[in-house]
Chain A
Amino acid sequence: MSDNGAALVLEDVHKSFAKLQVLSGIDLVLAEHEVVCLIGASGSGKSTLLRCVNLLEPIDSGRIVVHGEEVTAAGVNVNELRRGIGIVFQSFNLFPHMSVLENITLAPRKALGLPKADAQARADELLARFGLADKRDEYPDRLSGGQQQRVAIVRALAMQPGLMLLDEVTSALDPELVAEVLSVIRELAAEGMTMLIATHEMGFARDVANRVCFLDAGVILEEGTPEEIFGAPREPRTQQFLQRIVEAGRL
């Protein structure tokens, strides 16, 4: 398989929790600057797949290669690997005891060894870009959900990752706050950030994705361009899933 040039390669990735098989042979390749959306019902393995990529969950078998480096090989420095991969969680997971600025500068300072002033300059630049400059000294609990999630995205970006993993980043948000977060992600996509996005926002997936993968029972059942998946899905399971989404008024 030609790994060269690909941002992310997954080969036959298996993962189970105790007796529950969550991923049963995932194959997926992301080219540089590609945005791939993972869709599928709850429990289809989307989040687990993302957590496996940056080794928050160890996989049972298979291979994961990020920017040409096999991350599932023995002896890989997981800390170094994770610095190059940004992940944003459904529940934000900001550090509640730190201000916005401290949240963002912690990893650049401690993991990359950046001087405080440089880390702050980097954070201020990102905060300004995403309209959060006036929140820099606030604590996370004082922000709205949408602001918290944007801060979480900025926190991940401050490490200047080559790959972003977004795990249902709008699922915990009130509907009117979803748009501000999605527009940030659109901006990243427009800049050419490579992203793997698990999402329930089908309209957004259709807009932003180069490719959409439908996960079902731990495998990628169907993948294609948004037009193919949303316009003319081949698999009955995909059709069923999208039908339910349409009925729920989310497409």
Chain B
Amino acid sequence: MLVVVNAAGWPDVKQAFFDRDLFQESFPDIARAFLLNVKIFLIAEAVILVFALFIAVLRGLPGPVFFPVRVLATIYADLFRGIPTILVIYILGFGVTALQLPGVPVSELFWGTVALVLVYSAYVSEVYRAGIESVHPSQEAAARSLGLNRFQALRHVIIPQAVRRIVPPLLNDFIGLQKDTALVALLGVVEAFRQSQIDVSATFNYTPYICTAILFVAITVPLARFTDWLVARDRRRQLAGGLR
């Protein structure tokens, strides 16, 4: 901190990035645009949580009958983890909309969100899979021995335990997703990052970027603390009170 403030170029940087008046001026616009990021994030996250679990379950189906399903799910996860996110956004956002297929939305916002869902579901499905595999086989044996079918054992016994274990890595991916909502700007959608670019090019001052950065952090930190609290509460409930 002291090194930065005492650096030779600090006065220039201070003026270019931390202009108080400009900050106050651009904040309302960017905050309004940021609501779009939040919206993309919330919708994408809800879809990802369900879709990624579906993929993870498909990959875990046993027996030779489900071999093609496992292969397809694996190809999906490999493909969408392999392609850079930005390319998926371009390909879907510009490619699919240009097709002008009847009945298919032409909104860049829509396809940008779909791209994020596809990419992050691939990651999250792997997190789910690791969680499911971490639940000891004796739990499934106990559930099945009581007469629950495979789906019921997954639904009531395996997945609830898996999800509790993967909350921290899940949050990791969702913070990543939240930041990557800024990539949808590349399709021309005016979200917080795009709005700050517009403000920057109007004034040749970078303060709006700082404004955007603050907004992103302002939502990430409470989210992280909230999940910490959820995990701790659950642990308290399950474990003996005297420990730690």
Interface residues of A (CB under 8 A from B): 51, 54, 56, 78-80, 82-83, 85, 87, 89, 91, 93-97, 106-107, 110-112, 139, 141-142, 155-156, 159
Q: Is the CB of A97 within 8 A of B238?
A: yes
Q: Is the CB of A111 within 8 A of B148?
A: yes
Q: Is the CB of A107 within 8 A of B146?
A: yes
Q: Contacts of A159 on B, CB cut-off 8 Å?
A: 146-147
A54 to B143, CA, bound (A): 12
Q: In this assembly, does B144 line the interface, its C-beta being within 8 Å of a C-beta of chain A? A: yes
Closest to A51 in B: B141
* Most chain B beta-carbon neighbours within 10 Å: one of A79, A83, A87, A91: A79
Q: Is the CB of B138 within 8 A of A106?
A: no
Closest to A96 in B: B238
A96 to B237, CA, bound (A): 10
Q: Is the CB of A96 within 8 A of B161?
A: yes
Interface residues of B (CB under 8 A from A): 138-139, 141-149, 152, 156-157, 160-161, 164, 237-241
The 8 A-B pairs of least Cβ separation, nearest first, read A83-B147, A107-B146, A93-B142, A111-B147, A82-B147, A87-B145, A139-B238, A93-B138
Q: Contacts of A97 on B, CB cut-off 8 Å?
A: 160-161, 164, 238
Q: Is the CB of B144 within 8 A of A139?
A: no
Closest to B147 in A: A83
Say how far A208's CB is from chain B's closest CB, in angstroms. 22
- A95-B157, A141-B240 given as contacts; is B146 within 8 A of A89 (CB)? no
A78 to B147, CA, bound (A): 8
Q: Contacts of B239 on A, CB cut-off 8 Å?
A: 139, 141-142
Q: Is the CB of A56 within 8 A of B146?
A: no
* Most chain A beta-carbon neighbours within 10 Å: one of B156, B164, B237, B239: B156
Q: Contacts of B138 on A, CB cut-off 8 Å?
A: 89, 91, 93
Say how far B138's CB is from chain A's closest CB, in angstroms. 5
